[in-house]
Amino acid sequence: MPELRRHYFLEEYCVIAKERARRPTDFIRPREARASKECPFCPGNEEMTPKAVAVYRDDGVFVDGETRIRGWWARCIPNMYPAMVPGPDAPTSEWMAIPARGGHEVIIESPDHDSSPANFDDEMVARMISVYADRYRYHTEQGSSYVSIFKNWGREAGASLSHTHTQLIALPLIPPLLMREIFAISSMPACPYCNIAEREASSGRVIFREGEWICIAPFCSQAPYEMWILPFRHISNLLEIEESMRSDLARALKEALRRLSALLNDPPYNYMLFQMSSNYHLNIRIQPAITRIAGFEKNTGIYINPVPPEQAASELRSVL
Ligand SMILES: [Zn+2]
Ligand SMILES: [Zn+2]
């Protein structure tokens, strides 16, 4: 029978439709060809992109001048079609609109066209996370209210280029999704995420533990094989992580993506960092883009998930 499950602490629901239960092989699609010719993110093609705002090399962090900097291990460039800009035009005076002030960047995490965080070595994932922290700090210092960092992997997940990259959109407001959480958390006696990490550690939804981090299939998973990575310690954002915790997080993120890739043959997915400057509990959510968001979801905000998270966790635990 289907189950209507409620989110851990929000007024949010999903339908776990067990009788639709599927095997991982049902979700496997043929992999896209990965074009590398004329890839603007590949080394040697730096002129094809706007000037980088941060170029990460072993000898420091630089900014592109007239000639583009080579020899990088990560590169951060302005998005060609930005959703937010540092100096926006005045918005329309109809109804209500505010200036789209902020920033929109693309972080190219590796010069290697055929790599991805699922097959990066631990050091590369750790460096990628340090770039996330660096750009998060920059935009927070610029006065942005929220810095959205997310990765779209695969065309079905929204990636227009196959070379691995992450996007960052800095916003002039706290998005409604986070506002809802902050409001709910403020009325609770203790942080719900601290409780989730502790309780799920002994549940059938735990996938693995890595140092002070845990990876789970959340009780109310919106998508099949959804995973959350969160620290046991109450930490609001990447800037509050110490060096040793950062390398454990790198291993945890890589481990989660490696397991997902092995189980579903490198599926399209999104991962999103949820963090705030204070009074929040950092978490990373990975959602495979293998089911369609259709009329019911758009009509109700309730997601139908044909794979119970307990089954997903069991398969993700045993795949490697
Ligand atoms: Zn490339
Ligand atoms: Zn907490």
At 238 the pLDDT is 97
- CA of 69 relative to ligand 2 center, distance in Å: 41
Predicted confidence at residue 24, as pLDDT, reads: 86
Residues less than 5 Å from ion ligand 2, measured at CB: 191, 193-194, 234, 281
Number of Cβ within 10 Å of residue 256's Cβ equals 24
The span from the CA of 221 to the CA of 38, in Å, is 38
Q: Which CATH architecture has domain 39-88+96-318?
A: 2-Layer Sandwich (3.30)
Q: Regarding beta strands 213-216 and 146-153, do their DSSP bridges make them parallel or antiparallel, or are they unpaired? A: unpaired
* Span 31-36, average pLDDT: 63
Question: Would you tell me the crossing angle of helices 309-318 and 243-264 to the nearest 10 degrees?
Answer: 100
Task: Give yes or no for residue 15 having a pLDDT over 90.
Answer: yes
Per-residue pLDDT tens digits for 66-120: 999 999 999 999 999 999 999 999 999 999 999 999 999 999 999 999 999 999 9
Question: Is 90 exceeded by the pLDDT of residue 51?
Answer: yes
Q: How far is the CA of 283 from the centre of ligand 2 (A)?
A: 10
Separation of CA 163 and ligand 1 centre (Å): 5
Report pLDDT for 36.
59
pLDDT tens-place string over residues 119-136: 999 999 999 999 999 999
How would you label 259-288 residue by residue, b for 16+ Cβ within 10 Å and e otherwise? bbbebbebbbbbbebbbbeeebbbbbbbbb
